[in-house]
Amino acid sequence: MISTCWVTIPLAGASTSTAPSTEWWGYHGGADGAGIAADITGFNTSTPRWRSPLLDGSVYGEPLVAEHEVIVATENDSVYALSTNSGAVLWRRHLGAPVPANTLPCGDISPDVGITGTPVIDLLRHEVFVLDFEARAVPVHFLVGLDLATGDLMTRVALPTPSADQRTYLSRSALTLSHGDVVYSFGGNYGDCGNYHGVVGTVAESAPHRIRTFVVDARPGQREGAVWMGGAAPAVDAAGDVWVTTGNGSVTSPRQPYDHSDAVLELSPQMKLRGFFAPSTWYQDNAADADLSSEPALMGHNLVVATGKAGRIYLLDTRRLGGIGGQIAEIDSRCGDVLDGGVAINADTLFLPCAAGTEAARVTYSPATIRVIWHAQAGAGPPIMAGHRVWTIGADGILYGLNPATGAVLQRVSLGVEDNHFATPSVGAGLLLAPLARGVVAFAAD
């Protein structure tokens, strides 16, 4: 049964700090990406409740949950619905032939590139949306909507890109929803090869050929500026505005015009730029591939937090992002490595995806400040919080349950080697779900 207090969120674009433990309709739970599940006291990780059958390709996205189904997509351009009770396949839809990795100019996904980003579910329309890459005479990115109950095709539209050769584009970020639109984004393949531009776009669910876009590094001669965020989705605030971070661009000198790279962007539902922030070192960050690469964390009290590869955490005012160098506060993350991906937000505390070990930072509101409160010796991937634990998947293939107050390891379970560099767990139907290289494993609530 769909939880009525949760159903309205996808179309309203409302921000929330917790999610019921029944549905997990988008990346880190929903529109704001808070990654917090309510109504769960804990999980038994000593023995899995179930493991799915081996799926037909690598899993790079986060498992989603709606009604009695776990939705997961593969790089073989297939979408699966698994039973929340047993993990058995309820339906599978193969959308087309994925693009062979050896036909792309660069990248680190192999042997095929199909569906990389996390899907999104519109609970009111009973439709799951994915962005797939298909090997046609000329490879094409499609937004596809499938019936949640049957997998039948409901929506299919080819997505435009600023430059014609779509082999240089990768949709690494998750999809999300805002006021009846599906929000998507593009960056490039690993290695930043070829002529691509970062893109944020929307497709109207009721009129799928109405597509609006904002393009990064859009001036003649410019390129890059990926919108990828370590697989996280754009954040959507209560007004339906879309928040993203952008990657390194091609401009590496302060004598050249700023190109909206290495930035936090706030975009209207019509994809018009409302405001931006970039570090004063943006051009140096571009040259060093040290861009902002975590999802913007909408904290309430008109504050937003962003971080990335340079190891700095920026606290910003949502009403005045301030342009270049306009932060309220800036601190060293203490990560000692890159921070890529989605965050978990629990009231005034952020749990951050540091590759050298998950860490926590706390925001105070009056005056507005931020500080790191702990750095764990475990974890790495984008964290979520449920059952009084911070859950994160390490590069070692271990799912860790951390103490949210200290970062100490309280639970751990080996998942095996992940194909996905930014694997993140989810919660739904009373289950803690973790992606495997080619499947999903579920742990039951205590």
Decide if pLDDT at 308 tops 90.
yes
- What pLDDT is stored for residue 2 in this prediction? 31
In the chain, % of residues over pLDDT 90: 91
- Residues 72-101: what's their mean pLDDT? 98
**Helix or strand run (H / E) with residue 275:** strand 273-278
Dist CA 304 CA 27 (whole Å): 18
Q: Which two structure tokens, joined as six digits, stand for 14?
A: 């409302």
Mean pLDDT of 39-50: 94
pLDDT band at 302 (very low <50, low <70, confident <90, very high): very high
Q: How far apart are CA 196 and CA 222, in angstroms?
A: 9
**411 secondary structure, DSSP code:** E
Task: State how far the Cα of 283 lies from the Cα of 291, in Å rounded to an integer.
Answer: 10
Q: Is the peptide bond before 111 cis (omega within 30 degrees of 0)?
A: yes
Q: Is the pLDDT of residue 19 over 50?
A: yes
- For residue 39, the model assigns a pLDDT of 81
Domains of the chain in start order, with CATH, are 12-444 (2.140.10.10)
Reply yes or no on whether the pLDDT at 360 is more than 60.
yes
Per-residue pLDDT tens for 99-123?
Answer: 999 999 999 999 999 999 999 999 9
State residue 419's pLDDT score.
87
Total-model pTM: 0.94
Dist. CA 305–CA 298, nearest whole Å:
7
Nearest to 286 by CA among 377, 222, 195: 222
Take residue 10 and report the two structure tokens written for it: 């996808």
Structure tokens at 296: 């913007």
Digit-coded pLDDT (tens) for 228-249: 999 999 999 999 999 999 999 9
Q: What does the pLDDT read at residue 199?
A: 98
Rg (CA), the chain: 20
Task: Indicate the burial class of 239 (C-beta count within 10 angstroms; 0-12, 13-18, 19 or more).
Answer: middle
pLDDT for 46 beyond 50: yes
Report the pLDDT value the prediction gives residue 13, as an integer from 0 to 100.
31
What value does the mean pLDDT of the chain take?
94
* Residue pair 411/400 in contact by the 8 Å Cβ criterion: yes
Q: Work out the percent of the chain whose per-residue pLDDT is above 70.
A: 95
